[in-house]
Structure 1
Amino acid sequence: MTATDSSISIEQFPVRWPVPTRWDDNDHYGHVNNVTYYSYFDTAVNAWLMSATGTDIRNLPAIGVVAETSCRYLSELTFPEQLQVGIRVEKLGTKSIVYSLAIFHENAHGIWEAAATGRFVHVYVDAVTRTPVAIPAAIAAAAGSLV
């Protein structure tokens, strides 16, 4: 993985959530395994939601389930690295949120460079029945600040 996309900058993301690589993130080839990038996205979005709302989102009557994800890999990550996951809202609906994401790491010159870009769709469902419902007000307000 050596592709780069210089059009993506960390400044394009109003939220930058820190996520360190972990020892067990590396695969047999010596770099962070592709599936782990999705874990970084999931961790950043949900940790940010909890921080921004001041609420344990797991206890709300409606929960966000992942309906769609994608990831474009631009460069390798490895252990140990301190990452920043950029978060912005691409679309805020009444029952779903589409996040635009990017994982950044510092290059040899100390510049934050995109290692991956992604998309993450949360659809809100009733915690018990799993039927689609409106986004909880606290989450809608937090996400709305990123539109």
Structure 2
Amino acid sequence: MDRRSSFPHFLAITTRWKDNDVYGHVNNVEYYSFFDTVINEFLIRSGGLDIHRGPVIGLCVDSQCTFKQALAFPDTVDAGLRVAKLGNSSVTYEIGLFRSGAAEPAALGRFVHVFVDREQRRPVPMPADLRAALGGITG
């Protein structure tokens, strides 16, 4: 279930020199950055989320990562994304980080967004276009 083929959306992310830590692999905090990048790229490009002026924004309320293999610079990370649960104002994503071409993940993540009114910061139903895009990658 966590193989490359179980993720319907992918984004290739190139690691950077600064991502490596003193131990010679990508530091754990960067994995969360990869999660945030693949999710927000999808929301903007496929879901029409206007991060600068839109009335609704997504806030991360929970995240976790299970590390399976080290990534390092220079690697290309194929970040796979699927929706595990689609609620009225929230979505739970599952993310797989794969070395370029690898079938097994280097890391697996879970990330929960709650969509809120930009000004009031209170939960609101997600816009229809966004919900439709997210429904298209439900795993």
| TM-score range normalised by the length of the shorter chain | over 0.9
Q: Which residue of the partner structure matches residue 129 of structure 1? A: 120
User: Does the CA-based 8 Å contact 1:89-1:98 persist in structure 2?
Assistant: yes
Residue 40 of structure 1 corresponds to which residue in structure 2? 34
The amino acid of 1:66's aligned partner reads: C
TM-score scaled to structure 1, two decimals?
0.88
TM-score computed with the length of structure 2 as normaliser: 0.93
Partner of 2:7: 13
Tell whether 2:110 aligns with 1:116. Answer: no
Query: Could you say which residue in structure 1 is the equivalent of 2:78?
Result: 84
In structure 2, list runs of 5 or more residues that go unmatched: none
CA positional deviation for 1:59: 2.4
| Inter-CA distance 120–104: structure 2 relative to 1 (3 Å threshold) | same
Q: Percent identity?
A: 45
Number of residue pairs matched by the alignment: 138
Give the partner amino acid of 1:129.
Q
Alpha-carbon distance in 1 for matches of 2:97, 2:17: 18
Query: Which consecutive residues of structure 1, in runs of 5 or more, have no partner in the other structure?
Result: 1-6
CA drift at 1:112: 3.5
Cα RMSD over matched residues? 1.3
Structure 1 segments (4+ residues) deviating >2 Å: 53-59, 110-113
